[in-house]
Amino acid sequence: MTYDVAAVRSHYPALAGGEAFFDGPGGTQVPRPVVQAVAGTLAGPVSNRGPLTRPQRAADQVVAGCRSALADLLGADPEGVVFGRSMTDLTYDVARVLARSWAPGDEVVVSRLDHDANVRPWVQAAEAAGATVRWADFDPETAELHPEHLHAVLTGRTRLVAVTAASNVLGTVPDVPSLAAAAHDAGALVYVDGVHHAAHALPDLAGSGADFYTCSPYKFGGPHCGVVAAAPSLLEELRPDKLLPSTDRVPERFELGTLPYELMAGTTAAIDFLASLDPTGAADRRARLAGAYAAVEAHEERLRTRIEEALADRDDAIVWSRAARRTSTLYFTLHGRAPADVHAALGERDVSISSGHCYAWEPCQRLGLGETGAIRVGLAPYTDDSDVDRLLEGLADLGRGSRRGAGA
Ligand SMILES: Cc1ncc(COP(=O)(O)O)c(C=O)c1O
C-alpha cells in the first residue's frame, strides 16, 4: 500500500497556514489528536493522582497510558520510563546522580558527533567529580562515527559512554549496538541520545544495548517534553535528590513535582497517531509503530533523494550529511551565502528551514563550520512533493541571484 501523504497532512491544523515545513528536526508540527488530547485533559475532570475520586483516577490513567505508549515506542518497560521537562533537563539529572559514584581516575566518554545536550551535562558532571573526559571523534570526511572511534578512547576506567543514536544535523546513525557492546566490555554504562533518531526510526532500548535512551516527543508530533527510559532495575540502583514525602518508587523517584498530565496525554496521542500510519494493520501497537516507521522512512527517503540530487547539481553546495546510514535530514552550505540569510530568504517564501549550529556545537567545530553552522533541511511524515518543489525553487532562485550578483 502506498503512503497517502495527503491523508496524513489532513490531520495537521498548522499545514492550513500554507507554510512548507522543513524544520522538523527542531520540532515538528502537531496532528489534531494531540491538540485534542492536551486540551481534553486540561478540560478535565482531572485532579492530582490518587485512587479515591474519578478525577484522581483520570490522572492516574493518563500517567499509566503515557508510560505504556512510551514503552511501546521505545521497546522499554513502562516502569522504566521517566517523564520530564526536556531531554536536556533529564540528562543533567541523570548525569548528576551517576556522577556521585565517580572519582578522580574515572573516565567519561562523550562524542564529537553529539548534540550538546548529550555532551555538556557529562563534561560538567565529570569536572565536578574530578573524573576525566575523553572524546570519541567522528570522521569529518564521511560523517561516520565507527566503533574504532570509541575503541580509541575506551579504557578499563570508563564509567559512562554518551553517544547519539542519530546526529540532529548530519543525520548519521551510528551502529549503537556495536558501540554499546564495546562500552559494556569496558564495564561502562551507555547513555544514548535518541531525540533525533526517534523521529525517524523505531527505537529499541533493549535491542540496542543502551542502558538509557532519551527522546523528546515534540520531535515526533507530540508536546514539548522529554523522556528517558532505562531498565527499572538500573533506576532502582540510583538515588536522585527528592522530597521526603514524595514516593521512592521507580520511575516516580526521578519525576520531581506534579506530572504534566496534559503533556503526557498529548504524548500518548502522538504515539497512537504515529501507529495509525501503519499500512499493515498489525495487531499490537509496537508492531504498528514498526510498520508506520517503515512507511514514513520510505516516503522521506524518496523526498530526501530529490533534494540531494538537486544539491548535487549545484556547483556551490557542500552537503555535510554523508554517512551510509542516516536520517532524512540534510546539512549543507551554499558557497558565498550565510546560512541565516538563506534561512530568512526561504522564510520570505513561507518555506521554514533551520540554520546555524542547531546546538550541534561539537560537530560544527569538527567540521570547521564554527558558530555559523550550516543550513538544515529535515523531512517529516507530513512533507510532500509540493513542499520539496517550493524548497528547490527557493534554493534555485538564490543560486540565480548569486550568479547574477557574481557577474554584476
Ligand atoms: C539530537 C538532540 N538531542 C537533544 C536535544 C535536546 O532536546 P530537548 O529540547 O528535549 O532538551 C535535541 C533538541 O534539538 C536534539 O536534536
160-182 residue pLDDT tens: 999 999 999 999 999 999 999 99
Protein residue with least CA distance to atom 14, ligand 1: 26
Could you read off the pLDDT of 192-204 as tens digits, one per residue? 999 999 999 999 9
CA of 164 to the centre of ligand 1 (A): 11
Mean pLDDT of 31-57: 97
Q: Which atom of ligand 1 is nearest to the CA of 86?
A: 10
pTM for the whole structure: 0.97
The rounded Cα 17 to chain-centroid distance in angstroms is 25
* Full DSSP string of 145-164: --HHHHHTT--TTEEEEEEE
- Helix pair 339-348, 385-407: axis angle to 10 deg: 120
Question: Looking at ligand 1, which atom is closest to the CA of residue 225?
Answer: 10
Q: 197, 244, 205: which is closest to 82 by C-alpha?
A: 205
C-alpha to C-alpha distance for 249 and 153, rounded to whole angstroms: 36
pLDDT of residue 398: 86
Measured on CA atoms in the order 235, 191, 329, 203, is the torsion positive or negative? negative
Residue 220 vs residue 206, higher pLDDT: 220
How do 351-352 and 20-21 pair as beta strands? Answer: parallel
Summarised one tens digit per residue, pLDDT across range 217-236 is 999 999 999 999 999 999 99
- Predicted local confidence at residue 1, as pLDDT: 62
DSSP string, 121-190: HHHHHHHHHTPEEEEE--BTTTTB--HHHHHTT--TTEEEEEEESS-TTT-B---HHHHHHHHHHTT-EE
For residues 251-266, average pLDDT:
98
197 within ligand 1 shell (Cβ under 6 A): no
Q: Which three cell numbers stand for residue 122?
A: 557529562
Helix axes 261-275, 54-74, angle to 10 degrees: 40
Residue nearest to atom 7 of ligand 1 (CA): 87
Confidence label for 151 from pLDDT (cuts 50, 70 and 90): very high
81-84 sheet: strands from edge to edge:
81-84, 226-230, 212-215, 189-193, 158-164, 107-111, 132-136
Summary mean pLDDT of the chain: 96
Nearby residues of 22 by Cβ (< 8 Å), 6 or more positions away = 351, 352, 353, 354, 376, 377, 378, 379, 383, 387, 391
What atom of ligand 1 comes closest to residue 196's alpha carbon? 1
Cα radius of gyration (the chain): 22
Cβ of 195 below 6 Å from ligand 1: yes
CB 217 within 8 A of CB 260: no
Q: What is the mean pLDDT of residues 18-29?
A: 98
User: Which ligand 1 atom is nearest residue 164's CA?
Assistant: 1
Which pLDDT does position 94 carry in this prediction? 98
CA of 386 to the centre of ligand 1 (A): 28
How far does residue 225's CA lie from ligand 1's centre (Å)? 10
pLDDT tier, 406 (very low <50, low <70, confident <90, very high otherwise): very low
Best mutation site among 87, 170, 358 for ligand 1 pocket (most ligand atoms within 8 Å of CB): 87
The closest-lying atom of ligand 1 relative to the alpha carbon of residue 25 is 16
Q: Is 370 left (phi over 0), alpha (psi -120 to 50) or beta?
A: left
**Is the shortest distance between the CB of 91 and ligand 1 below 6 Å?**
no
Give pLDDT, residue 399: 59
Q: Rounded to the nearest whole angstrom, what is the distance from the C-alpha of residue 393 to the centroid of ligand 1?
A: 30
Helix (H, G, I), strand (E, B), or coil: what is residue 403?
helix
